[in-house]
Chains A and B, each alone.
Chain A
Amino acid sequence: MPVYSFTYRPFEGKYLRHFRWWIVFLEEVRLWNRSRIFQILFLLGMLQPLARFLQILSYNSAMQDPNHPLAPLIRSVTWLKVNEELYYNLIRLQAPIVLLLLLYVGAGTVCTDRKNRLWDIYFSKPIHWYDYLVGKLLSVIFCGLSLTFVPAVILMFTDYVTKKSSTWTGLFSYLPVMGDSLMFSLVLVVPSALAIVAASSIFPTENITVISVITILIANTTLAGLLSNFMRDGNYMQISFPVAIYFMGQKIFNVDRNIFFRTADVSGFNMFLYIFFVSMLCLLICIFQVRKAERG
């Protein structure tokens, strides 16, 4: 270690007074972004949006060209139609891969830092516990939205561009469906991210976190299934967290074709409260665990 007499100089940085979580967010995104497994999962997650992209292209070209050889076929297949339901189905079918991806990026967010004893270093820098937690949570949420809301918006834009009769004012017609897509994406991603980060803050390793989250999900859904069978009432399936999220999606998009219960029979507000309560519980766990570490 050579010693330089000039080494120490006055502070040249600009102290961050706000948005310190942004640095945590950026670091987290950089960390998982380079992982090969993440890249593979993300590419898998982009397969459905790619298929939807082709669907929109083919549907719009067929619908706008009466002489198109595939036009009668495409017209006759209802699920090929480009409407609001396409975006609902897109987000709904993305759920499994989103869950996998969130588990991959979220399971290690807090427990890895604890395992590597990084909290001492982080909190010896000018950073609050809430900057840390917000940065971590937002990075996981961002990851989830990048496979749900972001592809939905790109598909909307594709639909707009491929419609020959589109005018720029036509863009505004996408606002309601864009809002619905954002709502459903948030309902899907935010509670999942909170639950995974909460588990990560409790359990010691990534593997245990993943196993625990999956076990809780299975147990929760099994309990709901048992109750609905035992009580002979399909509405008990609402207890299942994944079913509750699907249900909220249906409410948001005004779709009614649930195999467990009739959407019209259950209260969307109650279901929202249930999801909100679970999310807040997870958030409280995260806050408690990180504050405990920061408090010393």
Chain B
Amino acid sequence: MDIQIETRELSKWFGEVVALNNVSVQIPSGVIGLLGPNGAGKSTFIKLALGLYRPSRGEIRILGEKPRNNFHTLQKVGYCPEMDHFVEEVSGYEFLYWLARYSGYKPKVAKKQVERAVERVSMTERMYDPIATYSKGMRQRIKIAQALLHDPEILFLDEPMNGLDPTAREELFELVISLGNEGKTVIFSSHVLHEVERVTDTVILIYNGRVLAFGKIREIRDLIKNHPRTIVIETLEPKKVYQILSVDENITTVNFDTQSLTVHTLDPMQTFKYINEVFLDEKVPIYSFRCADEDLQSVFQYLISTHIPRGL
């Protein structure tokens, strides 16, 4: 496996606040989702990877080297921050031009790189307008463009979807996927789960400064087999359905609604099989049944509930 980012017992605290706690991961190339709620430690992880923060303990290596004050590494890394970071009075083009110069490009090459990056984020038409006149989505695009300026091998996108309209979001999804296909490593941070699912099936779940899980979404799901799954059954006779299902030992809890009922089961495959068999025989009208927690949200919630004591 081609390891791009490696951390060993990486920790960062600010005073008494532990932002990142004992994180040891090996991140390969490709698109990786960095997933966690606000304040989980995603941005801290990214800033440590960029060398913007010094680790309080442990170490982080990017392409085998420590990133802090390491220009060799920084030249291979692009960063799109979460917040707006602009000189408002200059144009998008000029802002990017100077950042390209910071990256070491001579003026002529810097201009070319800027034009290329701006074209890639579809901002060519507005690139000479002052940043102060840009919409939120345009600002986001310029931020992404500055991260792409120097053709980085590793790209850190911290909440890049913030403020983008649906079209722009779709374009950015495509861009991220294409970057992954080109062999780049893209660390895509987000607290919105379906955004991450849209670009990758490999995620790092981070919560309260700790890595809860890292791997394919399905692999993570396999780790939590014993946790009850949720199945939603749509029917006009929920009480009758309940009576029939109550004999299934795998079902732990059932919740009623007017036209549906939600069951929690320890073995969804067995329960699905049971539902099929029983209801075909009983001839109870069922419009649909589906597993309601196949998405990342539920995986995340399962992991939090198994790692974090109840009541916290």
Which A residues form the contact surface with B (CB < 8 A)? 1-5, 7-16, 20, 23-24, 26-27, 30-31, 112, 116-118, 120-128, 294-296
Q: Which of these, B51, B75, B141, contacts A15 with CB under 8 Å?
A: B75
Instruction: Tally A-B pairs: CB < 8 A.
Output: 112
Q: Is the CB of B102 within 8 A of A126?
A: yes
B151 at the interface (CB under 8 A from A): yes
Q: Is the CB of B84 within 8 A of A117?
A: yes
**Chain B residues numbered 35-60 whose CB sits less than 8 Å from any CB in chain A:** 47, 50-54
Nearest B residue (CB) for A23 = B101
With most chain B CB atoms within 10 A of its CB, the pick from A1, A30, A118, A123 is A1
Given A1-B122, A14-B106, A126-B75, do A118 and B85 touch, yes or no (CB 8 Å)? yes
Given A8-B184, A124-B79, A126-B75, do A13 and B109 touch, yes or no (CB 8 Å)? yes
Which chain A residues lie closer than 8 Å to B98 at the CB level? 23, 26-27
B146 at the interface (CB under 8 A from A): yes
- Can you report 24 A-B residue pairs in the complex whose CB atoms are below 8 A from each other? A1-B121, A1-B168, A1-B175, A3-B175, A3-B178, A8-B184, A9-B151, A12-B109, A12-B112, A13-B150, A14-B106, A15-B75, A23-B102, A24-B102, A30-B94, A116-B85, A117-B83, A117-B85, A118-B86, A120-B47, A123-B52, A126-B104, A128-B69, A296-B47
Digitize B12-32: 1 where CB-to-A-CB distance is under 8 Å, 0 elsewhere.
Answer: 000000000000000000000
Q: Which of these, B79, B87, B89, B171, contacts A120 with CB under 8 Å?
A: B79
Nearest B residue (CB) for A13 = B105
Digitize B182-218: 1 where CB-to-A-CB distance is under 8 Å, 0 elsewhere.
Answer: 1010000000000000000000000000000000000
Nearest A residue (CB) for B168 = A1
Nearest A residue (CB) for B97 = A27
Alpha-carbon separation in the docked complex, A122 to B51 (Å): 12
Nearest B residue (CB) for A121 = B85
Q: Is the CB of B150 within 8 A of A4?
A: no
Q: Is the CB of B74 within 8 A of A126?
A: yes
Q: Is the CB of B81 within 8 A of A117?
A: yes
Which chain B residues lie closer than 8 Å to A124 at the CB level? 50-52, 74, 77, 79
Q: Which of these, B47, B71, B110, B146, contacts A13 with CB under 8 Å?
A: B110
Alpha-carbon separation in the docked complex, A41 to B104 (Å): 34
Alpha-carbon separation in the docked complex, A117 to B79 (Å): 14
Min CB gap B116→A, angstroms: 7
Which chain A residues lie closer than 8 Å to B120 at the CB level? 1-2, 4, 7
Q: Is the CB of B106 within 8 A of A15?
A: no
